Chain A
Amino acid sequence: MSGRRLASGGLINRAAPVRFAFDGRDFAGFAGDTVASALLANGVGLVGRSFKYHRPRGVFSAGPEEPNALVELRNGTRREPNTKATTAELFAGLVARSQNRWPSLAFDVLAINQLASPIFVAGFYYKTFMWPAVLWEKLYEPLIRRAAGLGKASVETDPDSYEKATAFCDVLVIGSGPAGLMAALTAGRAGARVIVAEEDFPLGGRLLAETYEIDGMPGAAWTAGVEAELRALPNVRIMRRTVVFGVYDGGTYGALERVSDHLAVPPPHQPRQRLWKLVAKRTVLAAGAIERPVVFGGNDRPGVMLASAVRSYANRFGVAAGERIAVFTTGDDGWRTAGDLLAQGVTVAAVIDPRTEVAPAVRALAGGAEVYLGAMVRDAHGAHGLRRIDVVRADGSSVSIAADVLAVSGGWNPTASLATHHGARTEWSDTKLAFLPGKTPPGLAVAGAAAGNFTTAEALADGVRLGNEAAVALGFTATSIAAIRTSDESFAVAPLFHVAAARTKAFVDLQNDVTVKDIALAEREGFRSVEHLKRYTTLGMATDQGKTSNVNGLAIMAELTGRSIPETGSTRSRPPHVPVAIGAFAGLHKGLDFKPTRLPASHGWAVARGAVFVETGQWLRAQWYPQPGETDWLTSVTREVKAVRGGAGICDVSTLGKIALEGPDVGAFLDRVYANMFSTLPVGRARYGLMLREDGIVMDDGTTARLADERFVMSTTTINAGKVMQHLEFCHQVLWPELDLDMVSVTEQWAQFAVAGPSSRQLLQTLFGPGVDLSDAAVPYMAARELQLDSIPARLFRLSFSGELAYEIAVPARFGAALAGALVTAGAGLGVVPYGTEALGVMRVEKGHVAGNELNGTSTAGDLGLGRMLSSKKDFIGRTMAARPGLVDPARPALVGLRPVDRAQRLRAGAHFLARDAKAEAANDAGYMTSVVFSPELGHWIGLGLLANGPQRHGEIIRAYDALRGEDIAVEVVPPVHVDPEGVRLRG
């Protein structure tokens, strides 16, 4: 096989040479080339080794259906395996390498796999090497993985970015061949918003690869005219290099735009690829068709190509794929390859057609070349490239013909897989000898070759008709298009899927190395259903999804089982229609951008003070504020706790959910969603509330304050803010729409700080000035006040999570950072410190307050020592189910405090409780440690836990067993409130 660039012709830019490298050798191509066309133009026929048998392989197609010419593209971090050379656009400096060869493409040691081919037959991984298992893992699998490969991925971080975008249109046109262009033009002229998605880099589809004329112009010139008009229409958007890979519900289509794959590196601020959701009211699928090969012996040799591809290379790329090209075709279309080659001065060795008669006009296309009618190619020969073919005539006689390329055409398979993405199946047509779309996804119509209407005239007419139908259905007025003159080609074709007389290995699936023998074996072993055939032989399961093999494979199975093709059935195609990089699906959602990061208003202030941060849900919160000289977190946290308990501290608690509720029925509503009573809450007061799920388990807790008669503000935990909002809205909108209230989340509207410690009142007095009365009488424990801080509205709540005299102060979020600074200034003489979530946690454990660790989705109010909060005077969410015997069983693990018997020992969260003499096994599990902290107040570790019969076991010594760390220590069960159990301080 020795291809060459033709002296003239093609749509490449001969004024723009492009240098590139393949397997370390430098070559030149032209702008407009693909890697495949440039390699063929340089006489490179051998481009890779096959998956299982490492057989030499060459370029087979000229499009996305390519099973053979898969290369590793680019170097280093951008190295990408399995790139189709037939669609990869050439750019200056492109570097490509062949795959699956060692040590070199020409001499491959593992080609010896061919001799071991009995091992690699259908189902080999189901029955070979199954025993003993240890050898599978240690020996066979690594061996097979090394032998059967598909290139190597770069294991480095992808340096490129990927984007996601959504676009809406009235009419989506998939494909820009004759059918797609006319559909876009008619719908566009009618005024519909149109998106045209074309996988290739120019518009035109097959028009670029054929020589026939439209309206007296070459296809490419006619295409350019239509494209110019489409571009002039403001309601039409053309998306090149964009492949639609899936049809989803509601008129949504997945598409991948290769934004920068045709460049050495993406331009600044541009992604490599963009994943589109295209939302269309109507869709015209005009994706064309893929030529079907015929399976014969040695049909995988480099030089055996699809006839349409040979034509594409000649007409579009100005490349003769070989010096002596033979054509093996079962229909009229293949003869056009002979005609086009002869017109370009390329030698046509022979035209072989199994039909005994062809129309004279078709016969004339072969000119003076040798013609064999009623004949077939039985075997192809040539070690690293085609040298000759054996042709067998109807009478059984055979002849050997020298050729370096064999152009094969067995008819056309419509590219209709998108039309089957909603569970529909294609239907076999005996007249078209193809699977045609049947029922289609809602709003999708199929035009042109994708619908089995293979002639240009049919495609143009389909496009006009369906473009108009779509526009009219959407309320636009149909446009008329003047009749288009086309040359009338014929598409008669005879059914021939494989040559049974083949004497050498005949490949059905070139990418997965599935042979006719494999299909016969599957049939003998009972894997006759097409879905079984596919999985047993891996037919059609490679990255090309069997675009050039599925139909042949099932036709062969049909023949073996004596059934018709429709009786044999077809496999279901599923998205994505072409491989899509995971990076494109991830888009910008990677690393720190995997999810949104929410920052409280004081974040910058905390950064400036050197805070260490922790993620709590989407929020980033200050965890502690290390001071100079502090090297471990415990030192910093202990200092912060001591400073709060000894003076004052401030902590940003803005991340807690805040929900504003207004209306005459808020009180009644809160009574139903909280387990305890709220309608009796006086104005100016706050109350701790416990919310259950309908199944009786605790959902969330927090305080709710009544600011005015019909105005409340609720707080939730940070983690459950969204969940509680959704729940409350369900309760209101679905369960009790008759209650008159409105609610809205104001979490992000208010910045809120805890001001805690015995000096906190003094601090706030300094802040507010002497005009505001903050005395215990004016602002008692659990008071809620609205007041002014300078001219800013502020809310002051006397709440305590730390057990100290404490407040929470809220201001509009934009003043949050300023308030943090003002609080520190006001507390300057009081030793105020900012404290983080760790100190907050230490103090809440010291006070025995439950938090997320205890509200674990399985604990009841009783388990948490809050059983008395369940009101018996009203119904509320969860009341009925909370009374189930299993939820009120006193033996349930319930909240206790814990201390190490040896005060020097550290407690571990997650440690399981065991009776002192119990064996460490699941049956003896008595609960677990939920939270542990080092208590600066007590000078040792303390914990909270859920212990079976816990409240009755205060004073008992049990074990905290931590199998993960290998620790097993004695702990004393104590009441959960470790510090100031009488609550003297918070009322101070």
Chain B
Amino acid sequence: MRIDCPFCGSREIVEFSYLGDAGVQRPAPDAGSVFTDYVYLRDNVAGRHREYWYHGSGCHSWLVVERDTRSHEIFSVDYAHRETVR
């Protein structure tokens, strides 16, 4: 698998590490059980999935990659901070 890093260009998967679902939002402090869900619960999606990847062996950017978990087809890659601001 290769990821088209917006800063570095197309790079091999070994340069990146994976974190998981980019759809989760860090809740407000003391949000109770919502916080437990944020830390522990993730959907196991078969299909299109927006997820965090870290270009640790490259520019150190955190990226949001939209990927089909079945085919590894990648539909989009963007900086995570841009996604957060949006």
**Contact status A734-B62, CB under 8 Å:** yes
Chain A residue at smallest Cβ distance from B55: A729
Expressed in whole angstroms, the Cα–Cα distance for A166 and B56 within the complex equals 20
**Contact status A875-B29, CB under 8 Å:** yes
Given the known A-B contacts A734-B84, A879-B29, are A726 and B54 also in contact in the complex, defined by CB atoms under 8 Å? yes
**Contact status B61-A733, CB under 8 Å:** yes
Chain B positions within 8 Å of A725 at CB level: 60
Expressed in whole angstroms, the Cα–Cα distance for A71 and B19 within the complex equals 48
Chain B positions within 8 Å of A737 at CB level: 81, 84-85
**Contact status A730-B56, CB under 8 Å:** no
Chain B residue at smallest Cβ distance from A738: B85
Expressed in whole angstroms, the Cα–Cα distance for A734 and B2 within the complex equals 22
Expressed in whole angstroms, the Cα–Cα distance for A730 and B20 within the complex equals 12
CB distance from B69 to the nearest CB of A (A): 12
Say whether A64 faces chain B, with CB atoms less than 8 Å apart: no
Q: In the complex, which residues 1-30 of chain B have their Cβ closer than 8 Å to any Cβ of chain A?
A: 1-2, 10, 12-13, 17, 19, 26, 29-30
Given the known A-B contacts A737-B81, A875-B29, A880-B31, are A251 and B2 also in contact in the complex, defined by CB atoms under 8 Å? yes
Interface of B is mostly: mixed
Say whether A694 faces chain B, with CB atoms less than 8 Å apart: yes
Q: In the complex, which residues 720-757 of chain A have their Cβ closer than 8 Å to any Cβ of chain B?
A: 722, 725-726, 729-730, 733-735, 737-738
Expressed in whole angstroms, the Cα–Cα distance for A879 and B29 within the complex equals 8
Say whether A258 faces chain B, with CB atoms less than 8 Å apart: no
Chain A residue at smallest Cβ distance from B84: A737
Q: B24-56 toward A: CB 8 Å interface, digit per residue (1/0)?
A: 001001110001101110000000000010101
CB distance from A857 to the nearest CB of B (A): 15
Expressed in whole angstroms, the Cα–Cα distance for A670 and B36 within the complex equals 23
**Contact status B12-A694, CB under 8 Å:** no
CB distance from B4 to the nearest CB of A (A): 9
Which size class do B's interface residues fall under? 20 to 34
Q: Which one of A279, A422, A880 lies within 8 Å of B30 (CB-CB)?
A: A880
Expressed in whole angstroms, the Cα–Cα distance for A726 and B12 within the complex equals 19
Q: In the complex, which residues 822-852 of chain A have their Cβ closer than 8 Å to any Cβ of chain B?
A: none
Expressed in whole angstroms, the Cα–Cα distance for A249 and B85 within the complex equals 31
Chain B positions within 8 Å of A722 at CB level: 56
Expressed in whole angstroms, the Cα–Cα distance for A277 and B13 within the complex equals 12
Say whether A250 faces chain B, with CB atoms less than 8 Å apart: yes
CB distance from B84 to the nearest CB of A (A): 5
Chain A positions within 8 Å of B61 at CB level: 733
**Contact status A735-B60, CB under 8 Å:** no
Expressed in whole angstroms, the Cα–Cα distance for A737 and B26 within the complex equals 13
Q: Which one of B13, B62, B72, B73 lies within 8 Å of A730 (CB-CB)?
A: B62
Given the known A-B contacts A250-B1, A737-B81, are A277 and B12 also in contact in the complex, defined by CB atoms under 8 Å? yes
Expressed in whole angstroms, the Cα–Cα distance for A36 and B44 within the complex equals 52
Given the known A-B contacts A279-B2, A733-B79, A734-B52, are A422 and B71 also in contact in the complex, defined by CB atoms under 8 Å? yes
Say whether A988 faces chain B, with CB atoms less than 8 Å apart: no
Given the known A-B contacts A422-B71, A733-B62, are A880 and B29 also in contact in the complex, defined by CB atoms under 8 Å? yes
**Contact status B81-A734, CB under 8 Å:** yes
**Contact status A694-B54, CB under 8 Å:** no
Say whether A695 faces chain B, with CB atoms less than 8 Å apart: yes
Residue among B13, B61, B81 with max Cβ neighbours from chain A (10 Å):
B81
CB distance from A672 to the nearest CB of B (A): 11
Interface residues of B (CB under 8 A from A): 1-2, 10, 12-13, 17, 19, 26, 29-31, 35-36, 38-40, 52, 54, 56, 60-62, 71-74, 79-81, 84-85
In the complex, the 9 A-B pairs of residues with the closest C-beta atoms, listed nearest first: A250-B2, A737-B81, A249-B1, A249-B72, A875-B29, A733-B62, A733-B81, A734-B80, A880-B35
Q: Can you spell out 28 A-B residue pairs with CB atoms less than 8 angstroms apart?
A: A166-B12, A248-B1, A249-B1, A249-B2, A249-B13, A249-B72, A252-B2, A252-B12, A279-B2, A279-B12, A422-B71, A442-B73, A694-B26, A694-B39, A695-B40, A722-B56, A725-B60, A726-B17, A730-B19, A730-B52, A730-B54, A733-B79, A733-B81, A733-B84, A734-B52, A734-B62, A737-B84, A881-B39
